[in-house]
C-alpha cells in the first residue's frame, strides 16, 4: 500500500510517498510543491495543481496531513490553514480519507521526543530510508508524517486481526 504524507505550507508544501509491505516500509519519492503567483488564489491553485499531479503519478492508497498549530500571528495561521485545506482537498478528490497528526506526535513517533528539531527529523528519516535524497526539510517532515500514518495503519490492522481471532 502506498502512503503519502503532506506537510502543508503556503510557500512550500512538502510531500513524501512510501510503500508499506506488512511491517516493511520503503521510500518511493519525496518532493516540494512551491506556490507560484502573487495573489493568494493563484498560489493556492498552483499548490492544488502540483499536488494533484503527485497523486496522479504515485497513486497513493492512504494519506496523512500534519495538523496546523496556532501561533501568535493569526493572519499567518489563517493562510497556513488555507494551504492545509488544499492538502486535505486533493486526497479527498482522490477518494481517500485523510489521517491528521499533531506536529509533536509526528516528532515523537520519528525521533522519540515531541519537541525535535527539523535536522533531527531529517536524520531519522535517513535512518529509516538509508540513501534517500531529500528534496528539503519540508519533504523530510512529509515522509515523517507518512511513516507515522503507516505505523498507525499497521496498529489498526493488528487490532482488527486480534478482534477477529477473539470472535
Tell me the per-residue pLDDT of 98-129, one tens digit each, with 9 for 90 and over. Answer: 999 999 999 999 999 888 999 999 999 999 99
pTM: 0.91
When pLDDT is cut at 50, 70 and 90, the band that residue 80 belongs to is confident
- Look at residue 38 in the predicted model and tell me its pLDDT: 84
C-alpha cell at 74: 493569526
Q: Is 66 a catalytic residue?
A: yes
Q: Mean of the pLDDT values across residues 55-75?
A: 88
Q: Which domain holds residue 28?
A: 2-166
39 catalytic per annotation:
no
Q: Which of 19, 53, 59, 66 is catalytic?
A: 66
> 66 labelled as ligand-binding?
yes
- Give the domain CATH number at 27: 3.30.420.10
Structural domain count of the chain: 1
Is 59 assigned a ligand-binding role in the annotation?
Answer: no
Mean pLDDT throughout 62-76? 82
Given a cut of 70, whether residue 41 has pLDDT beyond it is yes
Determine which one of 73, 117, 138, 157 is catalytic: 138
The number of C-alpha atoms within 13 Å of 135 and in the hemisphere containing its C-beta is 20
User: Could you tell me which residues come within 8 angstroms of residue 111 by beta carbon, excluding any fewer than 6 positions away?
Assistant: 120, 121, 124
Question: Does 157 participate in catalysis according to the annotation?
Answer: no
Amino acid at each position: 500500500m502506498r502512503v503519502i504524507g503532506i506537510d502543508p505550507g503556503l510557500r512550500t508544501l512538502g510531500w513524501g510517498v512510501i510503500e508499506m509491505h506488512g511491517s516493511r516500509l520503503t521510500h518511493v519519492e519525496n518532493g516540494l510543491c512551491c506556490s507560484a503567483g502573487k495573489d493568494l488564489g493563484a498560489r493556492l491553485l498552483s499548490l492544488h495543481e502540483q499536488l494533484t499531479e503527485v497523486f496522479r503519478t504515485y497513486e497513493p492508497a492512504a494519506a496523512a496531513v500534519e495538523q496546523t498549530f496556532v501561533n501568535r500571528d493569526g493572519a499567518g495561521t489563517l493562510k497556513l490553514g488555507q494551504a492545509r485545506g488544499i492538502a486535505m482537498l486533493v486526497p479527498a478528490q482522490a477518494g481517500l480519507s485523510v489521517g491528521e497528526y499533531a506536529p509533536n506526535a509526528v516528532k515523537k513517533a520519528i525521533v522519540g521526543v515531541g519537541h525535535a528539531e527539523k535536522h533531527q527529523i531529517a536524520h531519522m528519516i535517513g535512518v529509516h530510508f538509508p540513501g534517500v535524497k531529500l528534496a528539503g526539510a519540508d519533504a523530510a517532515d512529509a515522509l515523517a508524517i507518512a511513516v507515522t500514518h503507516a505505523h498507525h495503519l499497521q496498529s489498526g490492522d493488528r487490532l482488527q486481526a486480534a478482534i477477529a481471532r477473539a470472535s
